Amino acid sequence: MPKLIQYLIRYSSYPLIMGLSLFFLFPIATGTLSYWPYVPLIAAVAIGLVALLEQIQPYEQTWLNDHEDTGVDILHASLSIIMIFITAECITLFRQLIHIPSFWPASLPIWLQLLIVGLIIDFGLWLMHYFSHKKRFLWKLHALHHSSERLYWLNGERRHPLSAILLAAPSIICVTLVGAPANLIGTWMGLTAIHLAFQHANLDYSLGAFRHLLGVAEVHRWHHKHGFGRKNFGEFWMIWDHLFGTYYFESKPVKAGQVGLKTALPKTYLKQILWPFARKNQ
């Protein structure tokens, strides 16, 4: 492959795809377009591009191979994405049926309102992610996310459904109660789904100095590396890890054989869902 193409993929794939995604998602944030079907469609196209770029310029060649995980990961991702979309619709319905006092700064520009939504949701995700590595029962649910022996675009949604709910519920409830519009919440959740594909991508890309600000693959791979799980909890931003002393990065690459769990989890979907509740794991 020509070095120019490699360079362009390495340094422009994230800003270009995320930038275009935000551009097309912004009309949903303003209320010009409806959440459905535009957010799912935009997210699907963007995530599909990440998956395609992995095949063109992988970070780790062996991670392109199936590890008896692709089929079950598709099931996990499908359920997680469906839950995201259902959550957005439930928020809309909740706001229509139940009147609650709004403390939301609706007079601010839409882009700033979206940023505030993102900050609240992202901090809630960081906090629950942190507790998921500290509390035994939460960890048993979250362990599924760390059980993969490779990192690739589908890993971002490889989660136990209860873990997904517990991770997202506190911040979603918070932004809903303060009156954030459902279209802003849905827009941010769609953008986060695209970011998570990048965060776990088996793609040779870099954000340079911005990797210290955004939770991209360069820093998140360390979270999945053996012995480093209690570092880099950030989902979208790394600011919370900097503030609370859980940030870690070094230029040494994380390679094949260095991610996953010492305890092997079942390979099938149903057994993975039941694994945290098995008596032997109590």
Copy the structure tokens of residue 212. 């210290």
The pTM assigned to this predicted structure is 0.94
Q: Burial, 263: exposed, middle or buried (Cβ in 10 Å; 0-12, 13-18, 19+)?
A: exposed
What is the rounded distance in angstroms from the CA atom of residue 69 to the CA atom of residue 278? 21
How much is the pLDDT for 99? 76
Q: How confident is the model at residue 98 (pLDDT cuts 50, 70, 90)?
A: confident
Q: Please, which residues have CB within 8 angstroms of residue 224's CB and are 6 or more apart in sequence?
A: 146, 151, 254, 259, 260
Q: What is the mean pLDDT of the chain?
A: 93
Nearest to 17 by CA among 188, 221, 194, 187: 194
Q: How confident is the model at residue 282 (pLDDT cuts 50, 70, 90)?
A: low
Question: Strand, coil or helix: what is 58?
Answer: strand
How much is the pLDDT for 279? 66
> What dihedral angle (degrees, nearest 10) is formed by the CA atoms of 52, 56, 62, 63?
-30
What is the rounded distance in angstroms from the CA atom of residue 132 to the CA atom of residue 175? 21
- The full set of domain ranges for the chain reads 3-281
CB 30 within 8 A of CB 22: no
Q: List pLDDT tens digits, range 30-75.
A: 999 998 899 999 999 999 999 999 999 999 999 999 999 999 999 9
pLDDT at position 215 over 90: yes
Question: Strand, coil or helix: what is 2?
Answer: coil
Copy the structure tokens of residue 239. 């600011």
Q: List pLDDT tens digits, range 143-195.
A: 999 999 999 999 988 999 999 999 999 999 899 889 999 899 999 999 999 99
Q: List pLDDT tens digits, range 139-153.
A: 999 999 999 999 999
